Amino acid sequence: MTFSEYGNKPVHCVHCGSDKVRRRMTKIRVAKSEGSRLESMADNFPGFDGLDDDPKALAQMMRKMGSETGESLPPEFDEVVDRLEAGQSPEEIESALPDLGADGSMED
Residue with more model confidence, 79 or 25: 79
Ranges of each domain in the chain:
34-96
What mean pLDDT, rounded, does the chain reach? 78
Residue pair 50/57 in contact (Cβ under 8 Å)? The answer is: yes
Cα separation, 74 vs 56, whole angstroms: 20
Write down the pLDDT at residue 108. 44
Residue 16, class by beta-carbon neighbours within 10 Å (0-12 exposed, 13-18 middle, 19+ buried)? exposed
Confidence of residue 16 (pLDDT cuts 50, 70, 90): very high
Write down the pLDDT at residue 48. 65
Question: Which pTM value belongs to this model?
Answer: 0.50
Cα separation, 89 vs 95, whole angstroms: 10
Q: Mind listing the pLDDT tens digit for each residue in 37-88?
A: 767 766 666 566 667 688 888 888 888 878 777 778 888 899 999 999 999 9
The H helix count followed by the E strand count for the chain is 4, 0
Write down the pLDDT at residue 102. 63
